Structure 1
Amino acid sequence: MVLIVDLVLLTLLCLTALAIMLVRHLFAVVALTGAFSLLSAGLLVTLDAVDVAFTEAAVGAGISTVLMLGTLALTKRREARSPKLSPIGLIIIFSTGATLIYATPDMPKFGAVDSPGLVHIVPSYIEGSENDIAVPNIVTAILASYRGYDTLGEVAVIFTAGMGVIILLGRRREDEYGYSEESAAFPLRPETSNDEEGKDKS
């Protein structure tokens, strides 16, 4: 049953990705990317990675979709021109995909007790999390301590992306309402009229 669900989700992911490539209406593309994130979250749930699925659903289908819809409010709804297919890009994509498919059989089976992660890493986390960190929740101990720098990097990336979007949208709105860079830099400086400027020059 799980295999059937995985195959259905994988098929839907492939169809959604193909639709994203072919559709030229940007609003439809945003909706499809949100659906792609939800399907990815469902696939992660079947792999027992509920925490990663929650992050994918919140960031991919939630925050990213809202940001892209906000961006569409300031841009056109349709793509300006259809991009040309690059033979070099296609070769790189198919070569990478073929390499991943070729290497997949060498991976340990899902849930195998003799996989390297379960043999070497997981026991140290289970045995040492309470003694080393004094945190009863093993997942929290891994994310906050063992993988603390990795989590900090992920938060920094999300924060940087959000600030970049806010800055871009903010600059566009300033231009739309007629704010210049000088008035934005000195918002409290009183504006002088033309008569006062003429008196100062005389």
Structure 2
Amino acid sequence: MINTLVVVLCLMIGGVSHVIYGIQNTLKEDIELEKQLKLINKPPIKSIHTEFGYIVDCIDINKQPAFDHPLLKNHKLQRKPNFGKTNAKTSPTRSIFGLDKNKCPSGTVPIRRTTKDDLIREKLLLNDDIMMQNAPGIHLAEVSLPSNYAPYYAVSGTTSIYNPRVNRKDQISLSNLWVQNGQGDTGNKISVGWHVLPYLYGDDATYIYSTWT
């Protein structure tokens, strides 16, 4: 009887240690995510709760996250281009963000507030191996340009947005445009497009996304 009690006690202690270790890891990850959110989300001049369920912050144009980049330190914001006419089209910012009935004050820029769920999705999105594990197969159609045409200074494209049915949670359907230099961990890649990805969002809706490494 004594030996049995000792064994049970040891098992209980081992189980408690494992639980505590798991809780510590979770807390550490949460603290790290909170630190990232404080760096990403700047103090807003005004916040707008959109009809889509997310929040758009109106950030001082001189304090937008782009200026956190070391190469843009002490950068002087140029309100108007110093060259001739441009073919750039005016972006329908208010419609894209769902701000038709509300808008940010002059001197601010609308930036969708990043949430903890967004950061978690980002990690999953950048890990193609996790997303595509157990996938039944990949069907790919692409148009690419050989590297001997480089250097590239800009790319553009037009894509139609669809909502194809995805039958399995580990499947993905997407259309995107990307620029890549190098391969694997040493490569740099910028990608933008739309995708249907139940594994990431928990539904079969179509989402606009962008990633960069």
Q: Is TM-score (shorter-chain normalized) higher than 0.5?
A: no
> Which one has the bigger strand percentage?
2
Q: Provide the TM-score with structure 1 as the length reference.
A: 0.23
> Which one has the bigger helix percentage?
1
Q: Provide the TM-score with structure 2 as the length reference.
A: 0.22
Q: Please say which structure displays the higher CA radius of gyration.
A: 1
